[in-house]
Every structure is written in structure tokens, then in C-alpha cells.
Amino acid sequence: MTSIKTICVYCGSSPGRLEVYSEAANLLAESLVAENIQLIYGGASIGIMGMVADRVLALGGQVIGVIPKALSHKEVAHPNLTELHITHTMHERKMLMAELADGFIALPGGIGTLEELFEIWTWAQLGIHNKPLGLLNVAGYYDDLIRFLDHVTEQQFFKPRHRQMLMVESQPAHLLKRFLSFQHSLVEPWLGKDEI
Ligand code: AMP
């Protein structure tokens, strides 16, 4: 079993159309604080991003934001975080978030969220890290994506063991429970460490 002290949450810089997305953001925040897990995220005060951070802070939890300078106005850098790191580039932002986190969870979001999830998943596939990855499929938001990923696997462009790296749940508490019992040794990277 691994020790999870920090989790990076990828999610929308928009609130989305349905109330259920913000409800899931609040539930995830509550689960993180209940397990004494620090939130790592993109540092914005808007959309689902702002909601998760606000709820963790309101419950007395810790939030580390990482935002590139150029985006700090557009996404309105959150003013009350435990720590806010300002990076030069988007790549530095993602790298720092990845380094600080013991695991990664995607809530509903747009292409920024998808890009972040897919990047960290491809890094796991390559054996660059072996941290847990989770997708919160709130109200079926990701159903079509999950179906497509199964198609990619079935068409043999994706190995089943890499497909299985992504834990999919609809309830934040269920996903966090799986993270807390995650065993690094179960993940077998595509390439050996000395091949990278
Ligand atoms: P979105 O899911 O599109 O609302 O974006 C969520 C977060 O992803 C925001 O903080 C965006 O700044 C970030 N983002 C947008 N595009 C990219 C990208 N190409 N690479 C990494 N992050 C991005």
C-alpha cells in the first residue's frame, strides 16, 4: 500500500452546465480533507477549479496552486491558497503539479483537463511515474470517452494493462478509497526503467 499525502485534481475552468458537477467538486474536496490529503491544482479561482479549492479551504484543508504567469489574470489566480506557485510556462506548471502530487484525479472539464489527464496517463504508460490515476465520471459525463478508450484497446492501439491504470468511479469517496489501497507494484510499465 502506498501513502497518499497530496492529490492533483484536474478539472474545468468553467462550471459546466449542470449543478451535479459542482456538487461532485465539493464532495471530492470533503473526501480529501477527511483523509488529510493536500490538494494540488491549477491555482485558478474560476469554474470547477475554484470550487474544489474553495471547499477544501473552507473545511480547513491545504491547497497548493500552480499557475503560469500569463494565465494568472485570465484564470484569476486564487488569492487565498495555502501556497501559490507562479511558473513561466504551461509545461513548467504541469511538471510541478506532477512532482508535487502522489496521485491524479480528473473531474469533469474541457480540453485543458483532458490534455492534463492524457499527458499524466501517457507518462504512467512509459513508466515515468507509477502514481494512481482516477477519473470521476460524474453523471455519465465521460461515458463516451470511456467507450472510445475501450475501442482503442480493442483495436490494439492500447494495452489492456495500460487501459486499466485509469480507475473510473462516479463517487469521489469510492475513488479515494481505491487510491488509498493502491499498490505501486501492480503497475507494470511498458518500458523498463533502463529503456527510458
Ligand atoms: P479546461 O478543462 O479547458 O477548462 O481547462 C482546465 C485547465 O487546463 C485550465 O487551468 C487551463 O489553463 C488548463 N489548460 C488549458 N489548455 C492546456 C494545455 N494545452 N495544456 C495544459 N493545460 C491546459
- Alpha-carbon distance values, 18 to 14, 48, 136, 140, 174 (Å): 11, 11, 15, 12, 21
Which ligand 1 atom minimizes the distance to the CA of 13?
4
Pocket of ligand 1 (CB under 6 A): 12-14, 42, 44, 71, 75, 90, 94, 109-113, 115-116
Q: Would you state the pLDDT for residue 186?
A: 46
Per-residue model confidence (pLDDT) at position 75: 84
pLDDT bin (cut points 50, 70, 90) of residue 26 is: very high
- For the chain, what is the mean pLDDT? 93
pLDDT, mean of residues 163-192: 83
- % of the chain beyond a pLDDT of 70: 93
Q: What confidence tens digit (pLDDT) does each residue in 88-110 have?
A: 999 999 999 999 999 999 999 99
Ligand 1 atom 19 nearest Cα: 112
Q: Which H or E run contains 6?
A: strand 6-10
Residue 85 Cα to ligand 1 middle (Å) = 16
Q: How much distance in Å is there from the Cα of 174 to the middle of ligand 1?
A: 26
pLDDT band at 194 (very low <50, low <70, confident <90, very high): very low
Residues in the chain: 196
Within 10 angstroms of residue 74's Cβ, the number of other Cβ atoms is: 12
Distance 158 CA to ligand 1 centre (A): 24
Q: pLDDT tens digits for 34-86? A: 999 999 999 999 999 999 999 999 999 999 999 999 998 888 999 999 999 99
In three-state secondary structure terms, 63 is strand
| Nearest atom within ligand 1 for CA of residue 43 | 10
How crowded is residue 158: how many other Cβ atoms within 10 Å of its Cβ? 15
Ligand 1 center from residue 119 Cα (angstroms): 12
Beta bridge partners of 168: 135
Nearest-atom number in ligand 1 for the CA of 74 is 12
Q: What are the residues facing 8 on neighbouring strands?
A: 40, 104
Could you read off the pLDDT of 178-190 as tens digits, one per residue?
999 998 754 555 4
Q: Mention every residue, 6+ apart, whose C-beta is less than 8 A from residue 66.
A: 40, 41, 42, 43, 84, 85, 87, 93, 96, 97, 100
Q: Which of 67, 74, 96, 113 to mutate to test the pocket of ligand 1 (most atoms within 8 A of CB)?
A: 113
List the domains of the chain with CATH numbers: 6-141+163-180 (3.40.50.450)
Select from 13, 15, 24, 9 the least CA-distant residue to 170: 24
β-strand partners of 68: 87
